[in-house]
């Protein structure tokens, strides 16, 4: 079983935004020690591929050194991978298969749906639900080695050590865990930079995850054009701007449009 260190960083890095928290485990509690968030200038990362390593490293140094309330000195980190470089699928298998059996069967099953060779990705799985007479649901996740290695290289050069990669559906699930009610079905919607993520949960168990192209970047381009507000200003102060009534209308229309896309997919 894998255990997190007592203190570690959680980093979420996208084309236009990087944010982190330093967390400390104290008994059964997790305490927030320090945090920070910065916008990522255009061209540093494009579609989850790092294009300007030197500039990105300087930005990450600033992120950690100017954290609130104090700079962080923690070296172990958990990196939440962008949805553009993660492949997630939920399988149904017979309940009798052990974890050892699943590790042998999954590479065969993913050949027809994974857009990479299994040798080209880092992958893992977790059993979500297991019923004696109704099989088991298994969450599979993979990321291209070439992309993951690029992120690891950047952090290693900053004297940081990634201890594991995280994926968006589990990050959302954990963030909502205190609100989830057993056997109650909920839909969580996350508006990311380049994608809108939809997570369906029954209680604390993941049922389905769908990521649709089209996120805040598309929305901000539209707002910048229609309201004559520079996009850099919108990115930097989005938390304030999104509360304004004029932008709330645009945001609601955008979310309705994105939900219609995912509903069509689920209906099909």
Alpha-carbon span 56 to 58, nearest angstrom = 5
Residue 49: count of CB within 10 angstroms of its CB: 13
Torsion of CA 55, 61, 66, 67, to 10 degrees: 120
pLDDT (tens place) for every residue of the chain, 268 residues total: 455 678 889 998 887 889 899 988 888 788 899 999 888 888 999 888 899 999 999 999 999 999 999 999 999 998 888 888 899 999 999 999 999 999 999 999 998 899 899 999 999 999 999 887 779 999 999 999 999 999 999 999 999 998 888 888 888 888 888 888 888 988 888 877 777 888 899 998 999 888 887 777 788 888 888 888 888 788 778 778 888 888 888 888 888 887 888 788 778 7
pTM of the model: 0.81
> What's the confidence (pLDDT) of residue 52?
94
Tell me how far apart the alpha carbons of residues 25 and 2 are, in angstroms, rounded to a whole number: 15
Tell whether the torsion through CA atoms of 200, 177, 172 and 223 is positive or negative: positive
Residue 103 and residue 48 in contact, taking contact as beta carbons nearer than 8 Å = no
Q: Are 106 and 95 in contact (CB under 8 A)?
A: no
Are 209 and 88 in contact, with CB atoms under 8 Å apart? Answer: yes
Q: How far is it, in rounded angstroms, from Cα 129 to Cα 114?
A: 23
Please name every residue paired with 17 in a beta bridge, in sequence order, or none if there are none.
39
Distances (CA, A) of 138 to 45, 119, 174, 225: 32, 20, 17, 44
Cis amide linkage into residue 69, ω under 30° from 0: yes
């Amino acid at each position: 079983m894998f255990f997190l260190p007592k203190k570690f960083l959680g980093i979420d890095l996208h084309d236009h935004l990087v944010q982190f928290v330093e967390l400390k485990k104290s008994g059964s509690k997790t305490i927030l020690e320090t945090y920070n968030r910065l916008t990522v200038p255009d061209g540093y990362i494009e579609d989850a591929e790092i294009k300007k390593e030197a500039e990105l490293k300087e930005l990450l140094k600033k992120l950690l050194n100017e954290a609130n309330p104090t700079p962080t000195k923690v070296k172990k980190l958990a990196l939440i991978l962008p949805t553009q470089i993660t492949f997630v699928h939920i399988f149904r298998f017979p309940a009798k298969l052990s974890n050892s059996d699943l590790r042998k069967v999954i590479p065969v099953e993913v050949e027809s749906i994974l857009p990479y060779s299994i040798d080209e990705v880092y992958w893992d799985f977790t059993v979500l639900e297991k019923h004696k007479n109704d099989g088991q649901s298994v969450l599979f996740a993979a990321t291209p080695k070439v992309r993951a290695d690029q992120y690891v290289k950047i952090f290693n050069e900053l004297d940081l050590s990634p201890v594991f990669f995280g994926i968006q559906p589990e990050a959302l699930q954990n963030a909502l865990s205190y609100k989830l009610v057993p056997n109650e079905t909920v839909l969580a919607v996350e508006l990311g930079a380049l994608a809108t993520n939809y997570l369906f949960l029954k209680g604390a168990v993941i049922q389905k995850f769908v990521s649709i192209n089209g996120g805040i970047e598309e929305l901000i381009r539209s707002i910048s054009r229609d309201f004559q507000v520079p996009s850099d200003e919108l990115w930097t102060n989005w938390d304030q701007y999104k509360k304004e009534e004029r932008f709330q209308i645009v945001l609601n229309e955008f979310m309705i449009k994105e939900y219609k896309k995912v509903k069509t997919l689920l209906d099909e």
